[in-house]
């Protein structure tokens, strides 16, 4: 993949999609960017093909959907192998994300959800069975996210 230089139109497209990808048409985004709808569609396709837009997903409130336990599991793997564990960890039922960390002893952060704390135990066991060492577990009370403002010209 080559390095892609984002211009003002690309950044505004990314900002708009972060805010509400599901509810915006290319025409809506075109109004924000002062570009045509066809230009916006082509730009979105290019951002997808360059891997800048990786996917579109729903922001789920796991507590309201019956999975109130969110656990962060800090794991350690051999540095040359830490990236090799990501796909396998994502296949474990209950795991919703894996982040590769590049500093510190803990170099993988696994987020899992469940109905009760007993649902997290099998996740921890499977991570251990993969060869990861769990060095810390943190129970999360709430999680909120926002858009990355650097994509907006405002």
Strand order in the sheet with 133-140: 95-100, 108-114, 69-76, 133-140
Tokens representing 84 are 């090799």
CA distance 81 to 59: 30
Q: What is the pLDDT of residues 52-109, one digit of tens each?
A: 998 888 888 888 889 999 999 999 998 888 899 999 999 999 999 999 998 888 999 9
Q: Which fold has domain 69-140?
A: Alpha-Beta Plaits (3.30.70)
Q: What is the mean pLDDT of residues 42-59?
A: 90
Give CA–CA dist 80/10, Å, rounded: 34
Give the Cα separation of 137 and 83 in Å (integer): 20
pTM of the model: 0.78
CATH of 8-58, one of 1.10.10.10, 2.130.10.10, 3.40.50.300, 3.40.50.720: 1.10.10.10
Domain ranges of the chain: 8-58, 69-140
């Amino acid at each position: 993949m080559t390095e892609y230089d984002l211009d003002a139109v690309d950044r505004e497209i990314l900002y708009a999609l972060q805010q509400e990808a599901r509810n915006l048409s290319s025409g809506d985004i075109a109004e924000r960017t002062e570009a045509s709808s066809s230009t916006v569609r082509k730009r979105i396709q290019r951002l997808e093909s360059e891997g800048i837009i990786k996917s579109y997903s729903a922001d789920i409130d796991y507590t309201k959907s019956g999975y109130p336990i969110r656990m962060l599991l800090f794991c350690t793997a051999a540095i040359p192998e830490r990236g090799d564990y990501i796909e396998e960890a994502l296949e474990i039922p209950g795991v919703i994300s894996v982040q590769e960390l590049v500093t510190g002893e803990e170099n993988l952060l696994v987020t899992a959800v469940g109905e009760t704390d007993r649902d997290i135990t099998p996740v921890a066991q499977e991570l251990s069975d993969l060869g990861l060492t769990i060095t810390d577990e943190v129970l999360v009370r709430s999680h909120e996210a926002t858009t990355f403002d650097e994509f907006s010209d405002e």
